[in-house]
A and B are shown apart, each in its own frame.
Chain A
């Protein structure tokens, strides 16, 4: 099989979504599981089929008069992201009981649609196609957020939609502009990049800002983050997971493929400001996490802090285009963060369901009655603090190192403030463990707390295994990334 495998990888979730819409009741759950498994398997197959240069490229003309192509590209980073997407969808679909979901055929259908959009973003090798998928991933998620979740979900998800939509529209204007400057207008990555780099610095600076705004809203980076805690809090858990474990990576991935290579001069101009902004984002979000009493909001802010570090590390290169620690570490951490936050959300979901509240102060005292839950919570939380021997440790360590070596005038200051986040994250994460699991267990609600059932245990076992395996042997991922050029 040649490069067509990418098309199959992209189209399968859409087929799954169609099937799911027409299937009654809980059998939609099977469709969701089956097609997520297929995504994981196909991305592994595609990875094994990588050429000697480390790429699979699919090329097809789409709208010749515009110079828009249906070009897809697959490489090690895309593999990581695609398999992460499949894995996150799979585990969260298995973990969350289908019986609790109203109208499952619609729910899993929309989930699979958003999966297709996400895969499209990670695979697109054409600016126009990239934009289409960038928007396409948003629409089903908007419906999911608005239909399932807390009382204020409609308002929260609308805020989320408007924010991201404005960002992506500005990016669209940028894309059109770059496209028009080309000698032979074409959206394919190669020509788009060449055109972008050929522009004068002043133009690049503006365009860079337009693109970065779209990505910064998605990640999110302070001060464009205000949609995020509300949306995470109000959405149903599987949707929150998609938002924070995978959609956030769209922003980072887009910076790597569609921003840094396209506007190299402007990247040099902006990099220090973005690093500073990201570090502010880290410290701000960590402090906000400390004062939260709502479990979901706490995890939401913690996620902003982690993403901020990744964004800072992305821009911490001394010379653009050369291999640097930061890029490798970010690639690893994008995967890790997806897995860790998936684990955290699933456990918070269980706690929320069993205690009937998101308020941390109302939880606690279940360490004895629910040992599996507590063990999983402790391990996942340690990964969130990036303690040694968990998956985040090597990645975050390398990111701090990269920040330190970035050659920026403020390198030391930035590293110190970013480093604060480890301490701060220890404070809020440990407090969360304590409030959720430990404490006096004399009340009825504590004793009635049932432990994870077998399917949930398996899911948590998979997550914990990944956390520890990468923690012990990070080369697992690094070797894989080394096929990247």
Chain B
């Protein structure tokens, strides 16, 4: 059974948490169970990975789900990231509203979707995975029920998500019509010789649907409002773990099933990634709220991850894993500081360096990582995706363009940094300091640097 245990465990733990919410009204109990659940999930995914290591790829449900070594490794990494996220944010998640157990339960259900996307071998499982990933998110986005922005985020996310699901289904249908099967291998095998335009339209529809999920331009419009309206404790989960899971689904489909017809979608992909980089970075420059800036920066980062989808080689698949971890850790570190502040504008960060040096320095490491400065993991993340793209023979002008966009990103990331260290504030303290949290943030920043010096830990 090794390989599928993490999916089972995530589902069971989710149900357990819902019952814990019924039995105990004490937030501390719920939080503890939540943290323990994610720890157990990490343990199970490691167990799965070791099992896969010994037996190789294992398939389930008539080969509809097939867990490869790299898929299982992704599950371990993403569970570890989720665990770190829960450790740092569990208190803030519980404070969002009254139904604290449900928030943790929904996140565990999302993890089921995450694991399905890393292991699907059949378009139906892909579809179910995408839905399991999305539906709990619509609820989570609206979890701050009395806040109108949260409600707006939830509704907008739901409508956009439903819309993209429709496109996804349409695409799947057209592909099925061509290949006569939902299996990934069968689909890949069907793209030989002459074929009609319909499956190509199907591929484009799937590209658009996934574009919605990973907020690639021009399908990015929902992102800023949704990330901004969602309670700050939830946003990092959506912006990181869910987004990179969607990327894994994206890359598995386009490399696994449509690799054969790479030439027919690579131009579209190149255009989409350029547009995403351009819009994400340029719009982020003009934001006044750091939370919105981070939303646009997540679009910009998605632009870089699209390089991995574009490039059809082994390096690309390794690079997306690394990018996922690097981006997730760095975002968590920045959001952990943001959530402590009352004022989300850049001015809210003024004087943080003096008032709370530990928070400021860990956030700095994470911001430098997002900007891609060496000896942080973000540098290698960008390095690997660009190398993969260059290996694929992407026109060097696009790589130079991407690099210039990375330079633009320095502007808005460093604006936070400038506020923290070079601006002053009259207040002595900006928020209550929590020593456990400080310790966790230091561990998180240390991981960012450690992975920036020895990337082989993630690439395995």
Contact = CB atoms under 8 A, between A and B. Distances in A.
Interface in A142-164: 143, 146-147, 154, 158, 161-162
A63 B386 contact: no
Interface stretch (A129-137, A241-249, A254-262, A294-302): A129-137
Given A63-B454, A176-B386, A139 B407 contact: no
Contacts of B373: 135, 139
B148 interface: no
A458 to B, nearest CB: 34
A166 interface: yes
Given A136-B375, A146-B422, A162-B410, A169 B456 contact: no
Contacts of A166: 404, 407
A136 to B, nearest CB: 6
A65 B418 CA distance: 37
B411 A147 contact: no
Contacts of A154: 418, 422
Contacts of A180: 387, 390-391
A65 B421 contact: no
Interface stretch (B38-46, B131-139, B237-245, B395-403): B395-403
Interface string A41-79: 000000000000000000000011100000000000000
B407 A147 contact: no
Interface in B347-399: 368, 373-375, 379, 383, 386-387, 390-391, 396, 399
Contacts of A173: 386, 396, 399-400, 403
Contacts of A136: 374-375
Given A135-B374, A173-B396, A65 B390 contact: no
Contacts of B374: 131-132, 135-136
Contacts of B383: 172, 176
B163 interface: no
B73 to A, nearest CB: 15
Contacts of A143: 421
A355 interface: no
A269 interface: no
A165 interface: yes
A170 interface: yes
Given A63-B454, A177-B396, A165 B410 contact: yes
A147 B418 CA distance: 10
Nearest to B400: A173
Interface string B440-460: 000000000000001110010
Question: Which of A139, A146, A172 counts the most B-chain CB atoms under 10 A from its CB?
Answer: A172
Contacts of A162: 407, 410-411
A65 B459 CA distance: 9
Question: Which of A143, A162, A166, A169 counts the most B-chain CB atoms under 10 A from its CB?
Answer: A169
Contacts of B386: 173, 176
B418 A169 contact: no
A154 B419 CA distance: 11
A485 B31 CA distance: 67
Nearest to A132: B374
Contact of A161 (B396, B403, B414): B414
Contacts of B216: none
A173 B396 CA distance: 9
Given A63-B456, A146-B422, A154-B422, A177 B410 contact: no
Contact of A169 (B396, B406, B421): B406
Contacts of A147: 421-422
Interface in B192-212: none
Question: Interface size for chain B: under 10, 10 to 19, 20 to 34, or 35 or more residues?
Answer: 20 to 34
A146 B403 CA distance: 24
A291 B149 CA distance: 58
A172 B403 contact: yes
Interface string A117-140: 000000000000001100110010
Nearest to B391: A180
A286 B335 CA distance: 50
Nearest to B454: A63
Interface in B23-53: none
A136 B375 CA distance: 8
Given A132-B375, A169-B406, A172-B403, A158 B414 contact: yes
A74 to B, nearest CB: 22
Contacts of B404: 166, 169
A65 B383 CA distance: 13
Interface string B415-428: 00010011000000
Contacts of A170: 400, 403
A169 B387 CA distance: 13
A146 B421 contact: yes
Nearest to B415: A158
Interface string A160-192: 011001100110110011011000000000000
Contacts of A161: 410, 414
B388 to A, nearest CB: 10
A172 B373 CA distance: 12
B227 to A, nearest CB: 27
Nearest to B364: A143
Given A139-B368, A166-B404, A65 B456 contact: yes
Given A63-B455, A65-B456, A143-B421, A177 B407 contact: no
Contacts of B414: 158, 161
B421 A165 contact: no
Contacts of A165: 407, 410
B44 to A, nearest CB: 28
Contacts of B454: 63
A169 B403 contact: yes
Nearest to A131: B374
B348 to A, nearest CB: 18
Contacts of B455: 63
A419 B454 CA distance: 50
Nearest to B372: A169
A147 B406 CA distance: 24
A14 to B, nearest CB: 11
A209 B189 CA distance: 45
A170 B401 CA distance: 10
A63 B375 CA distance: 13
Contacts of B379: 135
A143 to B, nearest CB: 7
Nearest to A172: B403
Contacts of A64: 456
A64 B454 CA distance: 10
A65 B455 CA distance: 10
A475 B6 CA distance: 72
Interface of B: 368, 373-375, 379, 383, 386-387, 390-391, 396, 399-400, 403-404, 406-407, 410-411, 414, 418, 421-422, 454-456, 459
Can you list the 3 inter-chain pairs with the closest CB atoms, starting with the nearest? A169-B403, A135-B374, A132-B374
Given A139-B373, A158-B414, A169-B406, 15 more contacts: A63-B454, A63-B456, A65-B456, A65-B459, A131-B374, A135-B373, A139-B368, A146-B421, A146-B422, A161-B414, A169-B404, A173-B399, A176-B387, A176-B390, A180-B387
13 contacts: A63-B454, A132-B374, A139-B373, A147-B421, A154-B422, A165-B410, A169-B403, A170-B400, A170-B403, A172-B383, A172-B403, A173-B403, A177-B396
